[in-house]
Amino acid sequence: MWLLWWIRAIFLHVSSHIYQMDTGVLNCFFGGNMNQIMKKEVVGEIYNGDRLTFVPHRLLQLGEDKIAVISENSSGWCVTNIEDYLQIKDFFSKGKVVFDNSFGDKRTDFVQSLWRSDLLEKNGTCLSQLIQPFPSVLLVLKITGNCNFNCSYCYDYSDARVGTIIPIDKVKETISYVLSQNRGLNIVMHGGEPLLHFPLIKEIVEFTVKAAGTTKRTNFFIQTNGSLFSKEVVAFLDKYNFFVGLSLDGMTEKSNACRAVKSGATCLEIFNKNIKEYGKFLRRRAGIVCTLSQRNLEEFPNFVLWLQDLGIGGITISPLVPAGKGAQTTSDLISSDEYIKLLDVLINMIKTKEIERISVESINKFVSSLVGLQANDLCHSNPCGAGGDFLAIDSKGNYRACDCVYHDYFLLDNKTTCIFNTRSKLLNRREYMKNHACVNCAIFGLCGGGCIAEAITNTGVAEALPEKSCKVKKFFYRTLLKEYAFDKERPLFAYYSRLAGVKSRLNEKAVV
């Protein structure tokens, strides 16, 4: 829900692949450094004797005779016409197909393209199950429950956490354990306001770098209101290549009315001061995280253009949620229809190239989940990344599978070696959603049942349908897949590719 645009930036070296079956041709779109991530023979080769099965899938009608074929259990997909789909289905109608030299070049290309689209199982395994495109743990450290702002919608606020500071011994123990089990670690300094305890952040970073040595990859992020920036702080963040998320809701005081400070300059005044004093640093390392409410909904498109003119690289939209203090600000909530209307406006601005140099990550994360075999955004993975790729330590020292809502559903065993023991709960929830609330949804493989935190926030029940994000996802994936099927320019894919730095080429593959 809150994951920031810059968290995904470190994953952009991972190759992206899109596949389309269209009028008898299967087009393959590759980007990045695929062969640096996995061996060529694993990705691109089907060998004699391999047993091939068409995966369970669902169909999304796109118009005319075009459909999207979407894997039920992963983000694998293709766009095809009904006649070609029926040929594919007939080809695999007897279940397992054993590959041999009699297939011929065209049929071999066809089979390998389906394999690369994650729509085939080879000897019982899909391609997405064979790759690990990024370090497997994103560790969010809730440095403190305290903050020098008094935001009326703060989802994180609790009287019980205001005076708490994350226990450093627990942090070091966790970092050591995760590094011993994984090839890398991404750490987010969060809060409250984490820079209230800058010496503690320094200690954590220096410990992590030493523990990682030269064999483990580490990346650091910080979510901050920016009010405590100084030359010392900025120099430290720059030295350790921090990605910085700055909280800001608009370019006017009215749009930032919910982001009240306890004393001193306003949120907007602080941002303008930081741009003036640390502009070069922020343009290289910072993105904006905006809480969307009725206060800034109308202004938002112009806000994006304003940030683009300032040279800011990205912005993430986080619709206000009724959690924490936000439970008392329901009049400021926006509806799913209002959010979709805004997204439609932003999409049109991208198509007309008004928005060109700033990444609207709330759009690009949907494109990202289509162009990769595994979603780069852990909140858009299938299943949810909580408790698997994602772990949080709150300011009281508790392990949590997700930080989006403080609910016992996400509490983990406090033993370090057992920190991922709720994964089975999340997987069971996914299976329940697949067979109940989401049983007739074509995009289930791209969604996995939606955001558990949103379901709990709105209903108190994890197995409930997160209606707002559900409606938004249906809008987005249909929009993107229709663009891919009918628009040769594919402006949203091109926008993502350009801003993500993905170099791609389109190769045609014959379909039987």
CA distance 88 to 318: 40
How far apart are the C-alpha atoms of 30 and 37, rounded to whole Å? 13
CA separation for the pair 425, 410 (Å, rounded): 10
The answer to whether the beta carbons of residues 15 and 490 sit under 8 Å apart is no
- What pLDDT does 319 receive? 93
CA–chain centroid gap for 119, Å, is 22
Give the Cα-Cα-Cα angle 211, 216, 222 (nearest 5 degrees). 75
Which helix (H) or strand (E) segment holds residue 247: the answer is strand 243-247
Rounded to whole angstroms, how far apart are CA atoms 322 and 157? Answer: 12
Q: What local confidence, expressed as pLDDT, does residue 388 receive?
A: 80
At residue 376, the pLDDT reads 66
Tell me the domain boundaries of the chain. 135-334+387-410
Radius of gyration of the chain (CA): 23
Angstrom distance (rounded) from CA 365 to CA 339: 16
The answer to whether 55 and 71 are in contact (CB under 8 A) is yes
Q: Is the peptide bond before 192 cis (omega within 30 degrees of 0)?
A: yes
- Tens-place pLDDT, residues 351-377: 999 999 999 999 999 998 898 777 667
Q: Place domain 135-334+387-410 in its CATH homologous superfamily.
A: Aldolase class I (3.20.20.70)
| Chain position carrying tokens 């691109």 | 44
pLDDT per residue as tens, the chain (512 positions): 444 444 544 333 333 333 344 333 333 322 222 222 233 333 347 888 999 999 999 999 999 999 999 999 888 999 999 998 998 899 999 888 999 888 888 888 888 889 989 999 999 998 888 875 554 689 999 999 999 999 999 988 888 888 899 999 999 999 999 999 888 899 999 999 999 999 999 999 999 999 999 999 999 999 999 999 999 999 999 999 999 999 999 999 999 999 999 989 999 999 999 999 999 999 999 999 999 999 999 999 999 999 999 999 999 999 998 888 888 888 999 999 999 999 999 999 999 999 999 999 999 999 988 987 776 677 777 888 888 888 999 999 999 999 888 899 999 988 888 887 777 888 899 999 999 999 999 999 999 999 999 999 999 999 999 999 999 999 999 999 999 999 999 999 999 999 986 443 233 323 33
φ, ψ of residue 183 in degrees (nearest 5): -85, -5
CA distance 318 to 292: 6
Burial label for 402, CB within 10 Å (0-12, 13-18, 19+), is buried
Nearest to 34, CA basis, from 24, 25, 43, 26: 43
Q: Is 503 exposed, middle or buried (0-12, 13-18, 19+ CB in 10 A)?
A: exposed
* Burial (CB count <10 Å: 0-12, 13-18, 19+), residue 63: exposed
Q: How far apart are CA 383 and CA 432, in angstroms?
A: 12
DSSP annotation string for 468-498:
HHHHHHHHHHHHHHHHHHH-TT-HHHHHHHH
Q: Which structure tokens are listed for 337?
A: 């229809």
**pLDDT for 501:** 65
Supply the pLDDT for residue 509.
Answer: 28
Residue in the structure block whose two tokens are 């379901």: 455
> Coil, strand or helix: which one is 363?
helix
Q: Give the pLDDT of residue 134.
A: 52
Count of alpha carbons within 13 angstroms of residue 311, beta-carbon side: 10
Phi and psi, residue 299, nearest 5°: -80, -15
Distances in Å between the alpha carbon of 330 and those of 151, 294, 320, 323, 333? 14, 10, 9, 10, 5
